[in-house]
Chains A and B, each alone.
Chain A
Amino acid sequence: MGGMVLSLTSGSINVTLSDLLIMLSSNEESLQHQLVLELRLPRALGAFVTGAMLALAGALMQVLLRNPLADPYVLGVSGGAAVAAMLAILAGLSGLLISGSAFLGAMLAMLLVFGLARGHGSWTPHRLLLTGIVLASGWGAVINFIMATSPDQVLRSMVFWMMGDLGYVQSVGSGYVFLLVGLLVCLPMARSLNILTQGELQAGALGVNVNKVRITIYIVASLLTAGAVTMAGSIGFVGLVVPHLVRLMGVTDHRLLLPASALLGGCLLILADTAARTIIAPQQLPVGVISATLGVPLFLYLLYHGLGRRP
């Protein structure tokens, strides 16, 4: 597993790495030097952390909702982020302020689902999923409304939030902090997650503090998603497909599955982003397009080979 991931990494950013080595040894201020160190490296680092956050969030959401088809966006976190970002764009804000409001929007969406799904009654995965899906389609409607009524010149920057693009990645460092904290919070709970896949009653009967674990993974998954969306917009399929790929490799124990998903998600997104900026270079495709293009056939493959039946 580790070797597989490593080979993926070296394969995907081989060009960047070898360039980087020459640059570093020659120590001259060439254009290439700038290109690699100031553009490609942050972008690759951003791609990795975004993919890792999404895959980890996806793995957590799948356990939380006990639904293998859940992904990080299923509860509308990305919708909230997109709406807030679009409103910021309309208000004439720029740069970090747009990212900031996207993050706030994601938090708002997360609290809204949490509050509404709790209600008075039990906080079942079913209820959570339904609340999330309904709110997500509500966000979708707001997004469509904003796009339909916005002037043409801002539409392009709005599309970014819909499709996902690693070209404008900012504050990569804070992404790594999110990822690290998320992993550190979840790993000690990973064995509880294994049991939670068997249902809440079974988990309770085996000594899992179900409410505490669920609320924790809900918050962590939402924060990771919010972080990823803020950095790169909504990039589809990574969060859904990567945990399943890891499961298909035979890793079902969440103590391994969580870190493995993060690693593989990061590597896959670097690959997808590299493809996105080389396929029709010098033009760049939004990485969301590539990850979905890879994701659809992969997902269909998974579906037809069955999840319970390993090859």
Chain B
Amino acid sequence: MTPVLQLHSIDIHIGDKLICRDLDLTVGRGECWAILGMNGAGKTTLLHSLAGLYPTAKGQITLNGVALGTMERKLIARSMGLLLQDYEDHFPGTVMDLVLTGRHPWLSAWQWESPLDKQLALTALEKVGLVAFADRQITTLSGGERRRAALATLLTQSPDILLMDEPTNHLDIHQQHRILTLVRDLVHEQNKTAVLVLHDINLAMRYCDHALLLYEDAKPLQGEINDVMTEKNLTELFKHPLTAMDGPNSRVFLPG
């Protein structure tokens, strides 16, 4: 396993609240991680820290061995992309315009998108099933369509590491599996790395191979998914009784 993203004794605060203390984490190439925790546990903040977009109180994050803080944003964006949970669509623009912004880190200041860039954007739109929407205004999209457009932007950026904040939010069950299958294929076939914030324990069980559980005491649990995701750990994590059962593809948890 080649480490691509590493945390070295990281502290992260949100205001006065400590969300993790002395966190060491090594994400290896070709791994798919799930971050789970209750509302307000700091999952999103941790993900933003991984992207270098939220300051850590202590410690260091390295991307392919280089300290994130010393890197230019543009270079970071070439190897690491982030799917955000929310969008700000105050200005008009088409889906194609949006998806093409994924090429930004690969273009110089005066450079315009080439036909090849447009082809990449179209391919990404195809993968998320939005080709017919290329000329639509982003403000006319539904929640799920907007989510998939954001995903297409990330695919167009084509980073090696995909950080995704609740990628299945707003998606119907078919699209949830379609998108997560897409992510898993990227990880398995192209040796990409993914870190997903997920709410659905069963989706995490099915599509991820590692998990990080963010507890309220700021001491996260981490490891291979089958070791970490146990009845006891998850019941404690979500403060709700959960029962493990054997599902068709993986272990599943039902609320009791």
Contacts and interface: CB of A to CB of B under 8 A. Distances in A.
Interface in A188-228: 188-189, 191-192, 194-195, 197-199, 201-202, 204-210
B110 A188 contact: yes
A84 B211 CA distance: 61
Given A206-B77, A207-B105, A308-B139, A201 B90 contact: no
B92 A252 contact: yes
Interface in B68-99: 72-78, 81-82, 84, 87-94, 97-98
A259 interface: no
Which 5 A-B pairs rank lowest in CB-CB distance, beginning with the nearest? Answer: A207-B77, A308-B139, A207-B105, A188-B109, A205-B82
A189 B109 contact: yes
Contacts of A191: 101, 104, 107, 109
A19 interface: no
A189 to B, nearest CB: 7
A204 B88 contact: no
Interface string B196-231: 000000000000000000000000000000000000
Contacts of B89: 198, 308
A253 interface: yes
A209 B72 contact: yes
B67 interface: no
22 contacts: A66-B88, A187-B110, A191-B104, A191-B107, A195-B104, A199-B88, A201-B82, A202-B88, A205-B77, A205-B81, A205-B82, A207-B72, A207-B104, A207-B105, A209-B73, A210-B73, A252-B93, A252-B97, A307-B91, A308-B89, A308-B92, A309-B139
Given A66-B90, A197-B90, A206-B81, 6 more contacts: A201-B53, A206-B102, A206-B105, A207-B74, A252-B92, A309-B137
B48 interface: yes
B109 A194 contact: no
Interface size band for A: 20 to 34
Contact of A198 (B72, B88, B157): B88
B4 interface: no
Interface of A: 62-63, 66-68, 187-189, 191-192, 194-195, 197-199, 201-202, 204-210, 247, 252-253, 255, 307-310
B139 A208 contact: no
B9 interface: no
A68 B90 CA distance: 7
Contacts of B110: 187-188
A253 B101 CA distance: 11
A201 B138 CA distance: 18
Contacts of B51: 204-205
Interface in B94-147: 94, 97-98, 101-102, 104-105, 107, 109-110, 112, 137-140
Among A191, A192, A255: residue with most chain B CB under 10 A: A191
Contacts of A189: 109
A209 B84 CA distance: 18
B52 to A, nearest CB: 8
B107 to A, nearest CB: 7
Contacts of A253: 97
A204 B137 contact: no
A14 B94 CA distance: 37
A246 to B, nearest CB: 11
A67 B65 CA distance: 39
